[in-house]
Amino acid sequence: MSVTAGVALAVADAVWAEIRSAGLASDEHLSILEALFGKNMVRASKILDEGGVRRVTGAPSGRSLFLVMGESKRKEEYICFPEHLCTCYSFFYDIVSRGEQLCCKHQLAARLAEAVSKHQNIEVTDEELAHMLSKL
């Protein structure tokens, strides 16, 4: 990771912490995140506004992942670990292969949803969660 990317992620982490603490994202917060992540942040906000983020938690372990809707007409759903991985094409192409983005819109939507507690919660057994992950 470049120094510039590291600084951008550190700034973003500070903004995410402020949003979590306040329980809402101010225009200033969203403006900073948009400056850091560009069009992906705008698209992430749209996904969140449309109710496209679900948190799936396994019981009894409490382990969780996010399911985030795509924007295509097919309305695909991607498994997402907001700070680490998304199963979308953009994650592997723009982030992993080319290093052109810091994270995809699905990761941003999941982080924003978690920070403002605006996601649907679904509880499944740990076995069901493991089955979901086995399809990766």
At 98 the pLDDT is 86
Going by DSSP bridges, is the β-strand pair 64-69/85-86 parallel, antiparallel, or unpaired? unpaired
State the pTM of this model. Answer: 0.91
At 6 the pLDDT is 82
Q: What are the extents of the domains in the chain?
A: 3-134
Q: Is 82 helix (H, G, I), strand (E, B) or coil?
A: coil
Q: Please give the Cα distance from 2 to 119 (Å, whole number).
A: 32
Q: How many CB atoms lie within 10 A of CB 15?
A: 21
Q: Please give the Cα distance from 26 to 6 (Å, whole number).
A: 24
At 2 the pLDDT is 67
Closest by alpha carbon to 133, among 56, 48, 54, 75? 56
User: Which tens digit of pLDDT belongs to each residue from 24-50?
Assistant: 999 999 999 999 999 999 999 999 999
Going by DSSP bridges, is the β-strand pair 64-69/53-59 parallel, antiparallel, or unpaired? antiparallel
At 3 the pLDDT is 64
Q: Is 99 left (phi over 0), alpha (psi -120 to 50) or beta?
A: left
Count Cα atoms within 13 angstroms, Cβ side, for 30. 16
Ranges of the chain with pLDDT below 70: 1-3, 73
The CA–CA distances, whole Å, from 59 to 6, 38, 48, 112, 125 equal: 35, 36, 25, 24, 5
Count Cα atoms within 13 angstroms, Cβ side, for 109. 33
